[in-house]
Structure 1
Amino acid sequence: MTGKGSVFLLGPGFIGLQILDELLKDGYPVTVLVRREEARAKLEKLGCKTVLGSLDDGDVIRKAAAAADIVIHTATADHLPSALSILDGVDERAKSGKSTIYIHTSGCSAITDGGHGERMSDKIYEDDKPETIDSIADNAPHRSIDLAILKRRRELGTKAKISIVLPPVIYGVGKDNRLSIQIPTMARFALKHGFAGYVEGGNAVWGYIHVADLARGYLAIVHYMESAPAEEVLADPYFFIENGEEYSWKRAAEEIGKALHKAGRLSDPTPRQIPPELYSYVFGEWSGPVVGRNARNRANRLRALGWKPQEKSPWDSLASEELPIIMAEKTDFNGYSAPVAS
């Protein structure tokens, strides 16, 4: 193959647009799955091709995956049919002697513990020790989709190179002023209810990553998977991407409270526990796994490849970039109900 391999990208949203920018800057020809006709022109103006369809359009996804050297799924961690359609396309290529790189986006909710945020966990998952990640419960968040991918990965063996990325808390302002989910949702809750809140005990911790550092991490994974032997890629399916910073959910609420108090939007910056009857204003029944439990991890594999985080800290980003956007919003926020890829 001469030049850069062709890429099929699903999910041109907060994560996907940032990855698209990195791919295009690096010279990759990219085709993007797009749901709405009106979005095609804007994406194509960036320099990529588009194919019209939703995650439920299995034949569209399968054909596009079969035509691509590299497939990256960032649309959601919880849509099994689209992942299986990609794998069907990967299988078609394998039968014709062509290898495919497939990177699926899961999330660190998969490694959350069973506690209720009473304390920081001693358990730290490391991506160069895949057996520890393999040991998580089959019913953990996102895990049913990950397990289906891992099953097909074993069946394909060295005929395809398949990896799963598990991002932690993502922050920063992405392309088109897009924002992430977890911390902005907590900030919107604070603005609506008049206090910065945390779920459950508040002492559980997660890692963090800026969306721009995340996208550069995906590109580093692509480069690695292109050059590494298939046998080496097959030995470990997982990549974490974290910047070395860990914070409790109570600390997140404290930072939100301080920033909104300084902006004159909260009279008292002191964080408080969110009562269960208000969970519908954060993540509903998933509030605990998404913003309440421990999910500690280390991106050893990316660091071994030479990747390093470069962006500002989460709280500098929150105060200077994200909160001004959130405070200017005019819609009435009533919680986050969509699937969360975190």
Structure 2
Amino acid sequence: MASSGKKVFIVGPGFIGWNVLELLVKEGYEVTGYLRRNEHADQIKASGAAQAVLGDLNDRALITKHVLDHDIVFHTATADHLPSAQAILDGVQQRAEKGLNTTYIHTSGTSVLADGTPQSGKSSRIFHDNVKSEVDSVADDAPHRKIDLTILDVQKKLRQKAKIAIMMPPLIYGFNPRHKRLSIQIPTLTRYALKHGFAPYVGVGGGVWSNIHVLDLARGYITLLHHLESLSFDSPELDNPYYFCETTGDNEPSWKDIAELIGSSLHKAGELSDPTPCTVPQETYGDIFGDFTDAVAGVNSRSRAVRLRELGWKPVEKSWKESYVEDELPEILSERTDRKAFKGYGGAVAS
């Protein structure tokens, strides 16, 4: 049994959170995962989770109940589900009323920084997480922002009782062979290519998006957690809750760069007769991200993880190109699905 202060509750230990869970277990934390399926419950238990709780993100009472029993909470399920975030915040506030401190790390995403249109090119606007005003300048109706603002309101109220941070990943790539889970954007664009016979990009494909390997991101969460644990509640660092986590620096690929790699890779694999990427007709957006296609795969989102780097974190995993060719594409091609029946990505997109 872990000692007080080492009990962790992870809402949504999936593509991101499962990797975080495994790192926490290795460090001796007692971890409980909140998830939907029995099969996945067995998987995280095999990874060392002390407990798996089955439930829905809309079950606010159940989520709050388990938050009350944990010192540390991660939300890694989706950046766009307000009721589950509110349920966590309810638990954090109830713990505060009982004199209990909580550390809460919420997952948002850099879609909130989206800049430009699918018809524009690379933006010069870059956001830095050590400059809080840059993130605060985004519109209140930007993607994910409503939930972020809800969290910020509670953070101000509970300044002496809770350490609250918001992790904001960019485009996530990478593959953990033990988990057999894929990311969202690039695999979805690849499945579109397999269905339609060409590698797609949205608009002119000129927008760029910072990116991060999921295993580097998982280590970023641990670095952030240890940092929060080291801070006193009156630390001015807690006034800025934002943390980016990216690997690319000034070498972010454009969406057309990504399409070119998809096209050349599928051509080499014998899946496409022509590697040349093409613009996506709007009438087929339903086979990518539907109404969110422009925002998710057509604009700019440039971020710099200044704060994590200052804490000693650095990316060490494969580049997005190496990961795609060596790990993700083989897994996508092994999927036993009816490619013509593919209907795009139907869930919420974390970034």
Q: Is the 8 A contact 1:4 1:27 kept in 2?
A: no
Distance 1:260 1:38, change over 3 A: closer
Counterpart of 2:302 (choices 296, 311, 327) is 296
Deviations 1:21-64 (A, max 9, x none): 11111111101112233433332232211222111111111011
Following TM superposition, by how much is the alpha carbon of 1:13 offset from its aligned partner in structure 2, in angstroms? 1.1
How far apart, in 1, do the equivalents of 2:147 and 2:120 lie? 29
The answer as to 2:207 corresponding to 1:204 is yes
Find the counterpart in structure 2 of residue 180 from structure 1. 183
Q: How many residues align?
A: 342
SS at match of 1:103: strand
Distance 1:121 1:60, change over 3 A: same
Question: Superposition RMSD on alpha carbons, in Å?
Answer: 1.4
Following TM superposition, by how much is the alpha carbon of 1:337 offset from its aligned partner in structure 2, in angstroms? 1.5
> Which amino acid letter does the alignment assign opposite residue 203 of structure 2?
E
How far apart, in 2, do the equivalents of 1:93 and 1:209 lie? 34
> Which amino acid letter does the alignment assign opposite residue 151 of structure 1?
D
How far apart, in 2, do the equivalents of 1:303 and 1:277 lie? 42
Following TM superposition, by how much is the alpha carbon of 1:312 offset from its aligned partner in structure 2, in angstroms? 0.9
Find the counterpart in structure 2 of residue 147 from structure 1. 149
Find the counterpart in structure 2 of residue 34 from structure 1. 35
Following TM superposition, by how much is the alpha carbon of 1:159 offset from its aligned partner in structure 2, in angstroms? 1.4
Q: Is the 8 A contact 1:169 1:206 kept in 2?
A: yes
Following TM superposition, by how much is the alpha carbon of 1:201 offset from its aligned partner in structure 2, in angstroms? 1.9
Q: Is the 8 A contact 1:35 1:53 kept in 2?
A: yes
Q: Is the 8 A contact 1:158 1:234 kept in 2?
A: no
Following TM superposition, by how much is the alpha carbon of 1:158 offset from its aligned partner in structure 2, in angstroms? 2.4
How far apart, in 2, do the equivalents of 1:45 and 1:118 lie? 47
How far apart, in 1, do the equivalents of 2:197 and 2:3 lie? 58
Find the counterpart in structure 2 of residue 94 from structure 1. 96
Find the counterpart in structure 2 of residue 45 from structure 1. 46
SS at match of 1:7: strand
How far apart, in 1, do the equivalents of 2:40 and 2:206 lie? 41
How far apart, in 2, do the equivalents of 1:171 and 1:137 lie? 27
Find the counterpart in structure 1 of residue 238 from structure 2. 234
How far apart, in 2, do the equivalents of 1:22 and 1:219 lie? 8
How far apart, in 2, do the equivalents of 1:103 and 1:189 lie? 34
Find the counterpart in structure 2 of residue 61 from structure 1. 63
| Structure 2: segments with no counterpart, 5+ residues | none
Find the counterpart in structure 1 of residue 110 from structure 2. 108
How far apart, in 2, do the equivalents of 1:321 and 1:45 lie? 23
Counterpart of 1:271 (choices 255, 277, 289) is 277
Following TM superposition, by how much is the alpha carbon of 1:2 offset from its aligned partner in structure 2, in angstroms? 4.9
Following TM superposition, by how much is the alpha carbon of 1:235 offset from its aligned partner in structure 2, in angstroms? 1.4
How far apart, in 2, do the equivalents of 1:116 and 1:45 lie? 43
Find the counterpart in structure 2 of residue 323 from structure 1. 329
Q: Is the 8 A contact 2:266 2:275 kept in 1?
A: yes
Following TM superposition, by how much is the alpha carbon of 1:4 offset from its aligned partner in structure 2, in angstroms? 5.5
Following TM superposition, by how much is the alpha carbon of 1:147 offset from its aligned partner in structure 2, in angstroms? 1.0
> Which amino acid letter does the alignment assign opposite residue 277 of structure 1?
E
Q: Is the 8 A contact 1:4 1:29 kept in 2?
A: no
Percent identical pairs in the alignment equals 52
SS at match of 2:210: strand
TM-score by length of 1: 0.97
> Which amino acid letter does the alignment assign opposite residue 33 of structure 2?
V
Following TM superposition, by how much is the alpha carbon of 1:3 offset from its aligned partner in structure 2, in angstroms? 6.7
Find the counterpart in structure 1 of residue 139 from structure 2. 137
SS at match of 2:148: helix
Following TM superposition, by how much is the alpha carbon of 1:115 offset from its aligned partner in structure 2, in angstroms? 2.4
Following TM superposition, by how much is the alpha carbon of 1:205 offset from its aligned partner in structure 2, in angstroms? 0.4
> Which amino acid letter does the alignment assign opposite residue 255 of structure 2?
W
| Structure 1: segments with no counterpart, 5+ residues | none
